[in-house]
């Protein structure tokens, strides 16, 4: 099926999509406070594709996708490109397109990472009585989907809060 508008838009045509992803990004964003008011929206700066490694990675991924699309088995059934596509196969146009049309895949994590903002028991460093338990504590964005690791962290946090220290493999 077509995957466009971050998967939230209804497909208007039959089709297929490729999804090259930078699954281990080296670019780093930031979440900060905009004001002392607790109800103020935070300032979120993603900084996507700010490292050469990430830019090279996405350009290589898009190039592979285009090469697959040009193979006869695919090209024979394709009627054309859908929507906004790279202007050409040059590195500059592929990168320009990635910057313009790239999507998050809804997997932001790690703004309160273990080791930087919270300790391994998810307690905020230097603030007594406060833990963070959500996707933001993951030390790095996982290569796969983020829901299961977030649930795993939450299960572990529930044990820590209740004072249960499980030993790996015990009780099997
Ligand atoms: C459209 C979309 C599709 C996704 N698809 C997948 C998928 O297929 N597979 C996958 O693994 N992951 C997927 N994800 C990612 C996954 O949903 C998230 O990584 C995960 O939910 C993060 O969990 P969390 O607990 O950190 O945050 P959330 O699940 O966002 O939970 C935050 C909670 O806090 C509540 N909240 C916010 N503000 C306040 C407040 N002031 N007071 C009280 N409560 C508040 C919110 O209502 C919400 O319930 C998707 C995400 C999106 C947005």
State the closest ligand 1 atom to the C-alpha of 147, by its place in the atom list counted from 1: 11
CA 118/CA 137 separation, integer angstroms:
7
The range of the structural domain enclosing residue 31 comes to 5-101
Active site residues: 107
Among 86, 101, 116, the domain boundary falls at: 101
32: CATH = 3.30.560.10
What's the pLDDT score for residue 142? 92
Q: Kindly report, residue by residue over 99-125, the tens digit of the pLDDT.
A: 998 988 888 899 999 999 999 999 999
The DSSP call for residue 11 is P
What do you get for the CA distance between the two ends of the chain, in Å? 42
Atom number of ligand 1 nearest to Cα 145: 11
Residue 133 has pLDDT above 70, yes or no: yes
Report the percentage of the chain scoring pLDDT > 90.
72
Residue 12, pLDDT > 90, answer no
89 plus 111 within the same structural domain: no
Cα(133)–Cα(156) distance, integer angstroms: 9
Whose CA is closest to atom 39 on ligand 1? 39
| 44 shares a domain with 89 | yes
Same structural domain, 114 and 81: no
Query: Which pLDDT score is estimated for 170?
Result: 59
Q: Is the domain of 151 the same as that of 77?
A: no
Q: CB neighbours (10 Å) of residue 86?
A: 20
Total domains in the fold of the chain: 2
Pocket of ligand 1 (CB under 6 A): 106-107, 134-135, 145-148, 150
Q: pLDDT tens, 34-93?
A: 999 999 999 999 999 999 999 999 999 999 999 999 999 999 999 988 888 899 999 999
Compute the residue count for the chain: 172
Last residue of a domain, one of 64, 80, 101: 101
The residue whose CA has the least distance to atom 18 of ligand 1 is 147
Q: What's the alpha-carbon Rg for the chain, to the nearest Å?
A: 21
What is the reported pTM? 0.85
């Amino acid at each position: 099926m077509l995957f466009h508008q971050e998967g939230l838009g209804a497909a208007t045509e039959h089709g297929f999509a490729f999804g090259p992803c930078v699954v281990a990004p080296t670019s780093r964003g930031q979440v900060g406070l905009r004001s002392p008011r607790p109800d103020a929206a935070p300032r979120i700066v993603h900084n996507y594709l700010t490292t050469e490694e990430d830019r090279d990675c996405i350009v290589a991924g898009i190039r592979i996708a285009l090469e697959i699309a040009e193979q006869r088995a695919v090209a024979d059934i394709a009627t054309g490109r859908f929507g906004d596509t790279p202007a050409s196969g040059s590195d500059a146009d592929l990168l320009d397109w990635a910057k313009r049309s790239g999507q998050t895949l809804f997997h932001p994590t790690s703004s309160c990472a273990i080791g930087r903002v919270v300790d391994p028991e998810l307690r905020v460093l230097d603030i007594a009585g406060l833990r963070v338990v959500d996707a933001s504590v993951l030390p790095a964005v996982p290569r796969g989907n983020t829901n299961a690791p977030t649930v795993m962290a939450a299960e572990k946090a529930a044990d820590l809060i209740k004072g249960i220290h499980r030993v790996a493999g015990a009780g099997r």
